[in-house]
């Protein structure tokens, strides 16, 4: 079967894919946002003075990195209503279940990324800031966190893009996101290349837009001056701090 | 914290848009507000007996039907439609007729094939009417009302290049099937029979959806497809003169409507409604609408 351009164009602007992509974006943004918040909390727990908090943080990361995302989705969709009777009614929708599972999953990975970022800040800075009389909360908010943001942005962007594509696993929960919508159309038209090609274009556009956002974000959060095109070879233009 | 506020606002906006876009997520839409086919029972038909609806439903006054809307001619979407309550096909139209007869609204949940029985067990569906065979394995966890006789066929490219005329001819051949159902059980049994007889086993490729399974023969990756007659019929319709049926298995399987195990309330109402619809010819009309022979409805008791 040859590629039918008319079908491809129809697919590209079809209602099915437009509705699907809205769900994909919504699920990604919600899961990433909540996951990031969870990750920040867990990362701070891991650096805590109290052994109990450190252990709890470690356990969370261990558990939710070990569980495959698909199994986690099933556990939330089928298992959670059994544990929490309030979730048994029709109000517990696939979107909510998928958002919970993906957020919790993302939280574990974000925690490790943030922890890496926190480790990259020399402890001397904290000591110096405290010596200047700053409160611990201020130290974090004004000294540590701004630098951490710069360090973790590339890794977190990676995670966001991965999550964007991971949302297609919610197919198993009957969530009609982008890839599933394409699949449904294929099942009645048998035109694989055109529909999946159109879905691929959507993903390409989404990731491209996100990368633009990421670039803008990184430019905004440069704290130290940069020397572009430095004579230090491979570090040229990578935004390394001027040394 | 400007960035955090912005991100929160963006997420809220996106979620709001998603919540407003109907039907794409399998979210039950307002019961009765968007199911165009379930108007009030036909006017002034004094002879129409409305059967007492079951009381043990998930949502009062609504029959929740889980369907995998990816299987023409049994359940599928017309072009550019994504709302499950506007799906068409034999199963969907028949379910609407049953809901009408019971005086209930119909709520269709578009559900992934593998999640149909699990969702029924989890209490998300009152019934599952989605061209599922009545099989031993499923009957262990749910009950069913048969409504249509069906069988499988083995389809090959036109001219029958591999020369398949019976099941033993499949030995050593590559075939594609839809995984996880009755066909898989039978194909594996056939392969075992091949090996017992000293031949090569059948190379069985199982796929998630019917479309994927049929794509394999288009690409020449498999020599035959073992699938239900209705799906093959539909495929041949969209690919005229390219494929033919090598042989047909006896048509002694049934499609059934599944409901929660032990729920005699729902089961009795369902059986009565389907029987009534068969008797007054509604089911036959629907079958003919989709190119099916009404004789296959003879399994309805």
Domain locations in chain A?
A: 27-223
Give percent above pLDDT 90 in chain A: 61
pLDDT value of residue A1: 57
Asked if pLDDT for residue B66 goes beyond 80, the answer is: yes
Sign of the CA dihedral B175, B179, B183, B186? positive
The answer to whether the CB atoms of B77 and A30 lie below 8 A apart is: no
> And the tokens for B248?
């047909």
CB contacts, 8 Å: B123 with chain A = 88
Among A66-70, A106-110, B57-61, B84-88, the range scoring the smallest mean pLDDT is: B57-61
The answer to whether the CB atoms of A23 and B18 lie below 8 A apart is: yes
Q: Cα–Cα distance between A166 and A169 in angstroms, integer? A: 6
Q: Cα–Cα distance between A128 and A48 in angstroms, integer? A: 19
**Domain A27-223 annotated CATH 1.10.10.10:** no
Asked if A30 is an interface residue toward chain B (Cβ–Cβ < 8 A), one would say: yes
Minimum Cα–Cα distance from B214: chain A residue: A190
Q: Cα–Cα distance between B294 and B148 in angstroms, integer? A: 9
Q: How confident is the model at residue B39 (pLDDT cuts 50, 70, 90)?
A: very low
Name which of A70, A187, A216 to mutate to probe chain B: the one with the most chain B Cβ atoms within 10 A of its Cβ. Answer: A187
Contact B269, B52 (CB under 8 A): yes
pLDDT value of residue A46: 92
> Which CATH number among 3.30.56.10, 3.40.50.300, 3.40.190.10, 1.10.520.10 corresponds to the domain B152-248?
3.40.190.10
Q: Cα–Cα distance between B128 and A27 in angstroms, integer? A: 27
Summarize pLDDT for A168-197 with one digit per residue, the tens: 999 889 899 999 999 888 887 888 899 999
Q: Cα–Cα distance between A51 and B215 in angstroms, integer? A: 57
The answer to whether the CB atoms of A26 and B218 lie below 8 A apart is: no
- Looking at every residue in chain A, the average pLDDT score rounds to 88
As a whole number, mean pLDDT of residues B254-268 equals 91
Q: Cα–Cα distance between A207 and A216 in angstroms, integer? A: 14
Higher pLDDT, B15 or B235: B235
The answer to whether the CB atoms of A187 and B59 lie below 8 A apart is: no
The answer to whether the CB atoms of B211 and A19 lie below 8 A apart is: no
All structural domains of chain B with their residue ranges: 47-150+253-299, 152-248
Q: Cα–Cα distance between B122 and B260 in angstroms, integer? A: 9
As a whole number, mean pLDDT of residues A220-226 equals 67
Q: Domain B47-150+253-299 in CATH: superfamily?
A: Periplasmic binding protein-like II (3.40.190.10)
Q: Cα–Cα distance between B1 and B193 in angstroms, integer? A: 69
Higher pLDDT, B193 or B26: B193
ipTM score here? 0.76
Asked if pLDDT for residue A71 goes beyond 90, the answer is: yes
Question: Which of A90, A94, A95 has its CB closest to that of B59?
Answer: A90
Asked if pLDDT for residue B20 goes beyond 70, the answer is: no
Contact A200, A187 (CB under 8 A): no
Asked if pLDDT for residue A224 goes beyond 70, the answer is: no
Asked if A19 is an interface residue toward chain B (Cβ–Cβ < 8 A), one would say: yes
Q: Cα–Cα distance between A181 and A173 in angstroms, integer? A: 13
Asked if A35 is an interface residue toward chain B (Cβ–Cβ < 8 A), one would say: no
Contact A189, A7 (CB under 8 A): yes
Q: Cα–Cα distance between A64 and A35 in angstroms, integer? A: 12
Question: Which of B64, B118, B239 has its CB closest to that of A78?
Answer: B118
pTM: 0.78
Summarize pLDDT for B75-98 with one digit per residue, the tens: 988 888 889 999 999 999 999 999
pLDDT value of residue B209: 82
Q: Cα–Cα distance between B220 and B238 in angstroms, integer? A: 18
> And the tokens for A19?
């509705």
Residue B149 Cα, gap to closest chain A Cα (Å)? 23
pLDDT value of residue A242: 47
- Looking at every residue in chain B, the average pLDDT score rounds to 82
Asked if pLDDT for residue A129 goes beyond 50, the answer is: yes
Q: Do domains B47-150+253-299 and B152-248 have the same CATH topology?
A: yes
Residue A214 Cα, gap to closest chain B Cα (Å)? 13
Contact B153, B249 (CB under 8 A): yes
Asked if pLDDT for residue A238 goes beyond 60, the answer is: no
The string of DSSP letters for B237-290 reads HHSTTTEEEEEE--S-EEEEEEEETT-HHHHHHHHHHHHHHHHTTHHHHHHHHT
B245 φ, ψ (degrees, to nearest 5): -90, 125
- Nearest of A107, A109, A99 to residue A170 by alpha carbon: A99
The answer to whether the CB atoms of A183 and B17 lie below 8 A apart is: no
- Nearest of B200, B251, B240 to residue B223 by alpha carbon: B200
pLDDT value of residue B294: 82
Minimum Cα–Cα distance from B89: chain A residue: A188
Minimum Cα–Cα distance from B72: chain A residue: A188
Name which of B85, B130, B211, B213 to mutate to probe chain A: the one with the most chain A Cβ atoms within 10 A of its Cβ. Answer: B211
- Nearest of A178, A41, A150 to residue A106 by alpha carbon: A41
Residue B110 Cα, gap to closest chain A Cα (Å)? 7
The answer to whether the CB atoms of B15 and A30 lie below 8 A apart is: yes
The answer to whether the CB atoms of A30 and B17 lie below 8 A apart is: no
Asked if pLDDT for residue B110 goes beyond 80, the answer is: yes
């Amino acid at each position: 079967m040859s590629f039918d351009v008319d079908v491809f164009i129809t697919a590209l602007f079809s209602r099915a894919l437009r509705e699907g992509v809205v769900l994909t974006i919504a699920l990604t943004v919600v899961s990433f946002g909540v996951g990031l918040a969870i990750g920040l909390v867990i990362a701070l727990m891991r650096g805590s003075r109290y052994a109990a908090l450190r252990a709890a943080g470690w356990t969370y990361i261990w558990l939710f990195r070990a569980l495959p995302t698909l199994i986690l989705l099933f556990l939330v969709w089928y298992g959670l209503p059994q544990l929490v009777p309030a979730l048994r009614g029709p109000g517990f929708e696939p979107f909510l279940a998928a958002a919970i599972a993906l957020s919790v999953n993302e939280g574990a990975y974000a925690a490790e990324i943030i922890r890496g970022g926190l480790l990259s800040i020399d402890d001397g800075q904290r000591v110096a800031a405290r010596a200047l009389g700053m409160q611990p909360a201020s130290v974090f908010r004004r000294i540590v966190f701004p630098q951490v943001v710069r360090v973790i942005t590339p890794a977190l962007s990676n995670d966001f893009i991965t999550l964007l594509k991971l949302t297609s696993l919610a197919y198993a929960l009957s969530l009609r996101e982008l890839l599933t919508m394409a699949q449904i159309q294929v099942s009645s038209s048998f035109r694989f290349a055109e529909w999946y090609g159109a879905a691929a274009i959507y993903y390409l556009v989404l990731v491209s837009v996100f990368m633009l956002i990421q670039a803008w974000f990184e430019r905004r959060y440069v704290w130290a001056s940069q020397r572009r095109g430095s004579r230090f070879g491979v570090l040229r233009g990578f935004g390394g701090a001027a040394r | 914290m400007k960035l955090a506020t912005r991100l929160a606002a963006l997420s809220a906006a996106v979620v709001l848009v998603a919540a407003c876009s109907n039907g794409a997520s399998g979210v039950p839409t307002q019961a009765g507000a968007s199911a165009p086919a379930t108007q009030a029972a036909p006017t002034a038909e004094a002879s129409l007996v409305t059967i007492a609806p079951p009381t043990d439903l998930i949502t009062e006054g609504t029959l929740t039907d889980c369907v995998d809307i990816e299987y023409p001619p049994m359940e599928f979407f017309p072009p550019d439609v994504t709302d499950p309550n506007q799906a068409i096909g034999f199963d969907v139209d028949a379910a609407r007729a049953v809901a009408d007869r019971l005086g209930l609204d119909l709520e269709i949940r578009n559900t992934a094939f593998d999640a149909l029985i699990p969702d029924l067990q989890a209490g998300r569906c009152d019934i599952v009417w989605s061209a599922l065979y009545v099989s031993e394995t499923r009957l262990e966890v749910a009950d069913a009302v048969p409504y249509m006789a069906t069988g499988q066929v083995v389809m090959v490219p036109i001219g029958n290049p591999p020369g398949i005329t019976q099941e033993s001819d499949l030995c050593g051949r590559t075939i594609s099937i839809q995984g996880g159902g009755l066909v898989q059980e039978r194909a594996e049994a056939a392969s075992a029979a091949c090996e017992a007889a000293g031949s090569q086993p059948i190379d069985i490729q199982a796929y998630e959806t019917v479309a994927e399974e049929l794509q394999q023969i288009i690409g020449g990756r498999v020599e035959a497809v073992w699938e239900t007659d209705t799906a093959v019929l539909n495929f041949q319709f969209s690919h005229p003169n390219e494929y033919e049926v090598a042989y047909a298995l006896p048509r002694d399987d049934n499609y059934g409507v599944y409901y929660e195990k032990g729920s005699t309330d729902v089961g009795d109402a369902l059986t009565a409604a389907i029987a009534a619809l068969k008797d007054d010819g509604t089911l036959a009309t629907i079958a003919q609408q989709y190119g099916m022979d009404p004789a296959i409805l003879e399994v309805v008791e």
